[in-house]
């Protein structure tokens, strides 16, 4: 694997879609069942990645969002983090991905931003998850699925305490720029990403392409205004797929894989380097993104 930092601001890159969606289509549809599959039947995870590999993403995202101790405990998998991490890496190894990103999701613990004890407890959740990848063939950590700036702050503090790998950070955001929780904005999250040295600032959204591009442009402008230059990542959330849907709707603008083509062009024009089809995306969505941006340089730095 190449050092992913060498490609920042160089060329357009696509992340693999969530393997959870592929497992769900096979009837493996609860977080615990998916974790059990990774633990006991990693070959099933490998098959899901086989289809993604054909689609051509440069970056494979490991199915390791649940590796904080609190989330492992909720899944009744205390102490299994190291094995889950190892199995995830084994599942992608046959495809020789250019880059591997280890996903870490919100730990789910209550957080009181005014309490030092609460902040430390949350921070250490992420540090312990990050340590599971010590010495592993991982290019970056991917803090994904966050809906508040406070949770993201703890996560960034935790992984920074544990390692010096590049960090991709992403929050769920609505079309109006508010975080999905309704507590804060994309700008608030961006300030946290910049302060705690994320390498890539990102967001996931189900907004239509024009709105997603506007969010990206606004994010880039805000960072530049404050003297910070970060690569940008956008994940486009695919809603419930219905064969009867014949066109984009506000609820699901990405109803078919070919909708990714125009979205990718708009996002690149807005300054985005990393793209991902998330939610209920299939490998076909990843394939359209990869084909659309193949050979293209990343947007120029501000």
> Is 58 part of a structural domain of the chain?
yes
Distance CA 62, CA 88 (A): 6
> Is 45 part of a structural domain of the chain?
yes
Two tokens at 50? Answer: 């086989």
Residue in the structure block whose two tokens are 């054909």: 54
Chain mean pLDDT for the chain: 94
pLDDT for 244: 82
CATH of the domain at 12: 3.20.20.330
pLDDT for 220: 96
Give the total residue count for the chain: 302
Q: What is the pLDDT of residues 15-34, one digit of tens each?
A: 999 998 889 888 898 889 99
| Dihedrals phi, psi of 56, to nearest 5 degrees | 95, 25
Find residue 277's DSSP bridge partners: 236
Residues 38, 63 contacting (CB under 8 angstroms) = yes
pLDDT for 301: 59
Q: Is the pLDDT of residue 108 over 90?
A: yes
Q: How many other CB atoms are found less than 10 A from the CB of residue 54?
A: 11
How far, CA to CA in Å, does 260 sit from each of 16, 33, 153, 201, 287?
Answer: 14, 30, 31, 20, 9
> Is 300 part of a structural domain of the chain?
no
pLDDT for 21: 84
> Is 118 part of a structural domain of the chain?
yes
Q: Where are the alpha helices (DSSP H) in the chain?
A: 19-25, 31-40, 42-55, 69-74, 81-92, 116-131, 149-162, 186-195, 209-225, 259-269, 283-293
Indicate the number of domains in the chain: 1
Q: How much is the pTM?
A: 0.96
Q: Is the pLDDT of residue 1 over 60?
A: no
Q: What is the pLDDT of residues 223-257, one digit of tens each?
A: 999 899 999 999 999 998 777 888 888 889 999 99
Q: What is the pLDDT of residues 253-299, one digit of tens each?
A: 999 999 999 999 999 999 999 999 999 999 999 999 999 999 999 88
Q: Is the pLDDT of residue 302 over 60?
A: no
Q: Which of 215, 167, 195 is nearest to 5 (CA)?
A: 167
pLDDT for 60: 97
Q: Read off the pLDDT of each residue in 129-147 and give the average, rounded to a whole number.
A: 97
Residues 19, 62 contacting (CB under 8 angstroms) = no
> Is 302 part of a structural domain of the chain?
no
| Dihedrals phi, psi of 30, to nearest 5 degrees | -120, 150
pLDDT for 196: 95
Show the domain range for 179: 4-293
Distance CA 282, CA 259 (A): 13
> Is 299 part of a structural domain of the chain?
no
């Amino acid at each position: 694997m190449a050092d992913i930092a060498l490609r920042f601001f160089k060329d357009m890159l696509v992340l693999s879609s969530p393997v959870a969606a592929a497992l769900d289509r096979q009837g493996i549809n609860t977080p615990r069942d998916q974790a059990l599959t990774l633990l006991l039947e990693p070959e099933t995870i490998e098959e899901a990645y086989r289809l993604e590999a054909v689609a051509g993403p440069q970056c494979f995202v490991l199915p390791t969002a649940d590796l904080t101790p609190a989330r492992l405990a909720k899944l009744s998998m205390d102490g299994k983090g190291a094995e889950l991490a190892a199995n995830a890496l084994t599942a992608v190894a046959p495809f020789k991905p250019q880059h591997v990103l280890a996903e870490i999701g919100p730990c789910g613990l209550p957080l009181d931003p005014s309490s030092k004890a609460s902040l430390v407890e949350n921070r250490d959740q992420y540090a312990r998850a990050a340590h599971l990848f010590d010495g592993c063939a991982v290019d970056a950590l991917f803090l994904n699925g966050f809906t508040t700036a406070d949770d993201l702050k703890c996560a960034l503090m935790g992984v920074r305490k544990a390692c010096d790998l590049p960090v991709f950070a992403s929050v769920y955001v609505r079309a109006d720029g508010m975080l999905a929780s309704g507590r804060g904005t994309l700008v608030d999250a961006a300030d946290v990403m910049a302060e705690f040295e994320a390498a890539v600032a990102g967001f996931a959204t189900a907004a239509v392409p024009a709105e997603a591009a506007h969010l990206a442009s606004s994010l880039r402008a805000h960072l530049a205004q404050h003297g910070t230059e970060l690569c940008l990542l956008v994940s486009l959330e695919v809603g419930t797929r219905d064969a009867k849907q014949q066109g984009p709707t506000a609820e699901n603008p990405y109803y078919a894989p070919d909708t990714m083509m125009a979205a990718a062009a708009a996002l690149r024009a807005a300054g985005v380097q990393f793209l991902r089809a998330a939610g209920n995306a299939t490998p076909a969505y990843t394939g359209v993104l990869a084909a659309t941006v193949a050979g293209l340089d990343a947007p120029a730095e501000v």
